[in-house]
Structure 1
Amino acid sequence: MLALLDQTREPFIADEAEALIARQAADRLKAVAEAGESIRITVDGEADHRVIVPLPARAVTLIHQVLVAMADQTPMSLIPHAAELTTQQAADYLNVSRPHLVRQLDSGKLPFRKVGSHRRVRFADLVAYERACRETQKAALAELNAEARRLGLE
């Protein structure tokens, strides 16, 4: 159902029929997800093949988010933190150009490994880099705001 981002698969996009089913399911799960409750799902099968599956609250929230994305036909991918991305995939994730990403890699700001002559970036490292960049941006904006106040430019 969910596409695992790798070299061969495209992001998953629900079709019209799946979107309709997902909308109904998301509407039913919304209150439970917002309440942060764990649930048990019963899967009805043939005669004595009934299965009860417990789901922790965080899984319910995640499933609800997936269903909402499906209902809106938003492209999505499930990416394990251990996954290794190509430089183009990593650049696409960060919404930057590939040459900019390569400069960040070569300057040591973002770890990578080489597979032959190709660079691979761990998704977990990419997320940590993105978080650090956001913190740097927030600090710069706070500094600009403080300078504007000091100069009376507010």
Structure 2
Amino acid sequence: MTLVAPKVTAALPPEHAGKLQRALEGSHDITVFVDGTVHRLPAQARDAVVDLLARFSRGESVSVSSVEEMLTTSQAAELAGISHTYLRNMTDRGEIPVEYRGTHRRIRSADIMAWLETQKATDEPHS
């Protein structure tokens, strides 16, 4: 299997994010054009596209990857914004699941994204 790093896209400039946010307000009709041809997306794909656009509209950077994508520890550490050593220690403690391919560790990108979500949740102020 070829390992492909997730595609990370920087946040939109505030003026573009604002325009997108206004366009999405109250809208559930998202039309996709590919080379001038209209495509109706199945509900799951539509929901994923709307979520992606909503994140951009809030000025967030976005990372897109396959759920089952397996990363090296270096790729996973870069995605998580932590050091390679810190990530290895977390896998040793069982905080992030790891699979071994011979002596090499592989980590599902979904597990890194789930860990990032838990970090985000613990960092958010509570009302």
Q: TM-score range by the shorter chain?
A: 0.5 to 0.7
* TM-score, normalised via structure 2 length: 0.61
Over 6 Å off, 4+ runs = none
C-alpha distance in 2 between matches for 1:30 and 1:123: 28
Identity over aligned residues, as a percent?
28
The unaligned stretches of length 5 or more in structure 2 are: 10-15
**Counterpart for residue 52 of structure 1:** 38
The unaligned stretches of length 5 or more in structure 1 are: 14-22, 46-50, 143-154
- From 59, 69, 72, the equivalent of 1:83 is 69
C-alpha distance in 1 between matches for 2:34 and 2:97: 44
C-alpha distance in 1 between matches for 2:50 and 2:122: 33
**1:87-117 deviation line (CA, Å, top 9, x unaligned):** 1111112211100110110111111001122
- Bigger Rg, which one: 1
C-alpha distance in 2 between matches for 1:114 and 1:106: 12
- From 26, 34, 39, the equivalent of 2:25 is 34
**Counterpart for residue 62 of structure 1:** 52
**Counterpart for residue 96 of structure 1:** 82
Structure number with the higher strand fraction is 2
CA shift, 1:40, in A, is 3.3
- Contact 2:73–2:106 (Cα < 8 Å) also in 1: yes
- Contact 2:71–2:108 (Cα < 8 Å) also in 1: yes
Structure number with the higher helix fraction is 1
* TM-score, normalised via structure 1 length: 0.52
Cα RMSD after superposing both structures: 3.9
Which structure would you say has the larger RCO, counting Cα contacts within 8 Å and 6 or more residues apart?
Answer: 2
- From 85, 94, 106, the equivalent of 1:120 is 106
